Amino acid sequence: MMPYSQLVVTIVIAFFITLVLGPIVIPLLHRLKVGQSIRDEGPKSHMTKSGTPTMGGLIMIAAIAITTLTSGTINKDLYVILFATIAFGLIGFIDDFIKVVLRRNLGLKAHQKLIGQIIVAVIIALYQSKVSVTGTKILIPFVQGANKYLDLGMLYVPFIAFVVVATANGVNLTDGLDGLAAGVTLIVSSFFSLVAMHWGYPSIAVFCGALTGACLGFLRFNAHPARVFMGDTGSMALGGAVATIAILMNLTLFIPIVGGIYFAETLSVMMQVASFKLTGKRIFKMSPLHHHFELSGWKETKVVVVFWSVTLLLCIIGLFGLN
């Protein structure tokens, strides 16, 4: 088992790298005038955030990469997670660049973004299907004994690819309030780091520690009132990282549990769109879900703290679901 001290050191290193990079990158983003544009149909309280630099996810990606690549605990799994993080971050970066630099508000077209995500996701799924000792079987939460695995067979690759894409977009939808996505992901990555340590995945534990430290450091600049937003660059990178971490430890079905906030945010959008198209009525005041609570009278900081708390509770539940 990986010593707790090594995990703590990894978290601290990533945390301080993020703190150092923040004051360097944020002024640069200001000079490049890559300010976030706020949707007119969004909550009116968000209009004051217009012009806040975005693409701050570059800070976290750099901190994670530097920390993991200098950790001395490197193997194929670590390279695959880094690949997923950087690849999804690159897709988000291109989207952000088109929106805030080229001033094309819609960014990448939906099908362009989806094609890129699917390609990366399939690579991850194929890798895991070849190297996993359980092959195409996935672990079922809260089930003991011989029945704790479900063999997906030929459905394994498309299922895993779907999970990766869905998680990345779920984190992207969660990134709508100051500190929300970073805080939720910090808690989720802490859960996976503990599992990785106890299950003998030292390289994954190191990555999770770096991810935790980077998210914690980023909150210094992203907590309300945010000085920088992570943008799609950051949210896509975080989503790709979380999904790949879970998949490489065969904890794919734990993502909807510990990442319940990601799931709820995505589901709220799907329900809202379906309801409006079918009935012309909206279920929520606004989607994703965090905006519904804002428009119901909750302060932004209250929504964020409640969602963090729910994530912590879900991660505790997730621990009981481990076999």
Annotated binding-site members for Mg(2+):
172, 232
**Ramachandran angles phi, psi of 109, nearest 5°:** -70, 150
Q: What angle do CA 84, 86, 87 make, to 5 degrees?
A: 65
Q: State the CB neighbour count (10 A cutoff) for residue 14.
A: 30
What's the DSSP call for residue 45? Answer: G
Three-class DSSP category at 53: strand
Residues in the chain: 323
Per-residue exposure over 142-157, b if at least 16 CB sit within 10 Å of its own CB, e if not: eeeeeeebeebeeebb
Distance CA 201, CA 80 (A): 14
Of the candidates 169, 192, 176, the one whose C-alpha atom is nearest the C-alpha of residue 120 is 169
265 Cα distance to chain centroid: 12
Check: CB of residue 167 under 8 Å from CB of residue 255.
Answer: yes
Residues contacting residue 77 through CB under 8 Å, at least 6 positions apart: 201, 203, 204, 248
Q: Which residues are annotated as a binding site?
A: 172, 232
What's the DSSP call for residue 219? Answer: H
DSSP class per residue in 108-164: S-HHHHHHHHHHHHHHHHHHHHHH-TTTTEEEPTT--GGGGEEE-GGGHHHHHHHHH
Of the candidates 72, 156, 169, the one whose C-alpha atom is nearest the C-alpha of residue 117 is 169
